[in-house]
């Protein structure tokens, strides 16, 4: 965490070359003539991180993903709970020319407890199935799903479940009442419905102590879930499915690209970025990953 904003270029190169499902480097070149550039600068710390300078309407489009369609499934981070409903999904569309369709409700979980609340009717899997935003007849270029911190709070750790030994043949083979069962259900359902790549993404690093700490959920518990989703992704990838994890949590270069001062300024808490955090820190990483993998 001691590196400063001058390391931003190194973060970009890391983003361009990572294989998030297996944690190793890929040799595939970025498919664009213009490389995305970070604009993480401590000079902005005197400004409002949710101010007009950092809205999606203020960005300059470079059309690197023009014509691409992405479906986003998630909770508060995908929605943009601390940024007026603008997350990397909107910034990516404004910046690159892609179309982002979101199904995002704050406070919701991947697992479905069968009830009517945030972990039931509003759960990831039930909203995905019943969504009117996701066109079942369309062909998205990727389905991007948030690894929810809501599944890691103290009272929900018993809902984690286990990874299936083999790739499930049908969605019904997955236990949607558990978090890991829900992850596999999402992969199977998306693969059967849209036949597109499935990319799960984590939030940025937060720990159990220190400058970037959170108490409930703890960073260590969220980190365990991210690693378990990566294991699931690797299992599917090994069987020929395009399933990967965009691991913001575990990428040390990405997290070191901003100082602790910038981190505190561009987030409302260790989980939720403000507009400047999405625009200048997160969005270039997603852009580079998508360019390198699609």
Residue 27: inside a domain = no
More confident residue, 28 or 168: 168
Average pLDDT over residues 189-210: 97
CATH assignment at residue 250: 3.40.50.1110
pLDDT of residue 62: 87
Average pLDDT over residues 239-244: 97
- Nearest to 106, CA basis, from 90, 83, 129: 83
Residue 31: inside a domain = no
pLDDT of residue 38: 60
Q: Report yes or no: 146 and 74 within 8 Å, Cβ to Cβ.
A: yes
What tokens appear for 108 in the block?
């919701």
Residue 234: inside a domain = yes
Using the predicted structure, report yes or no on whether residue 142 has a pLDDT greater than 80: yes
Using the predicted structure, report yes or no on whether residue 254 has a pLDDT greater than 70: yes
pLDDT of residue 156: 97
Residue 102: inside a domain = yes
Average pLDDT over residues 249-266: 94
Using the predicted structure, report yes or no on whether residue 236 has a pLDDT greater than 50: yes
Structural domain total, the chain: 1
pLDDT class for 122, splitting at 50, 70, 90? very high
Output the 3-class SS for 206-271: CECCCCCECCCCCHHHHHHHHHHHHHHHHHHHHCCCCEEEECCCCCHHHHHCCCHHHHHHHECCCC
Residue 230: inside a domain = yes
Tell me the per-residue pLDDT of 78-90, one tens digit each, with 9 for 90 and over. Answer: 999 999 999 999 9
What range defines the domain where residue 163 resides?
5-19+40-53+63-293
Q: Is the dihedral of CA 166, 170, 176, 180 positive or negative?
A: positive
Using the predicted structure, report yes or no on whether residue 31 has a pLDDT greater than 50: no
Mean pLDDT computed over every residue of the chain = 88
Average pLDDT over residues 11-39: 39
Using the predicted structure, report yes or no on whether residue 76 has a pLDDT greater than 70: yes
Tell me the per-residue pLDDT of 44-61, one tens digit each, with 9 for 90 and over. Answer: 798 999 999 999 999 989
What tokens appear for 80 in the block?
């943009």
């Amino acid at each position: 965490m001691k590196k400063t904003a001058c390391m931003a270029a190194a973060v970009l190169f890391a983003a361009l070359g990572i294989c998030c499902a297996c944690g190793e480097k890929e040799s595939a070149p970025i498919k664009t003539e213009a490389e995305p550039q970070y604009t993480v600068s401590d000079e902005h710390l005197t400004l409002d991180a949710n101010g007009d300078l950092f809205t999606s309407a203020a960005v300059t489009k470079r059309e690197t993903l023009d014509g691409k369609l992405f479906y986003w499934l998630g909770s508060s981070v995908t929605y943009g709970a601390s940024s007026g409903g603008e997350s990397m999904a909107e910034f990516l569309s404004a910046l690159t020319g892609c179309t982002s369709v979101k199904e995002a409700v704050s406070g919701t979980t991947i697992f479905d407890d069968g009830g009517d609340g945030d972990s039931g009717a509003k759960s990831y899997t039930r909203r995905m199935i019943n969504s009117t935003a996701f066109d079942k007849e369309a062909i998205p270029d990727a389905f991007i799903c948030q690894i929810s911190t809501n599944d890691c709070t103290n009272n929900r750790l018993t809902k984690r479940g286990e990874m299936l030994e083999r790739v499930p043949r049908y969605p019904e083979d997955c236990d949607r009442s558990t978090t890991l069962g829900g992850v596999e259900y999402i992969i199977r359902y998306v693969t059967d419905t849209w036949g597109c790549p499935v990319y799960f993404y984590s939030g940025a690093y937060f720990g159990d102590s220190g400058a970037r700490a959170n108490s409930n959920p703890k960073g260590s518990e969220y980190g365990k879930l991210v690693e378990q989703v990566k294991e699931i992704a690797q299992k599917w990838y090994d069987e020929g499915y395009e399933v990967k994890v965009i691991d913001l949590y575990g990428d040390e270069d990405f997290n070191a690209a901003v100082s602790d001062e910038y981190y505190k300024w561009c987030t409302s808490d260790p989980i939720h970025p403000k507009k400047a955090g999405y625009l200048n820190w997160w969005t270039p990483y997603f852009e580079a990953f998508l360019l390198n993998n699609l």
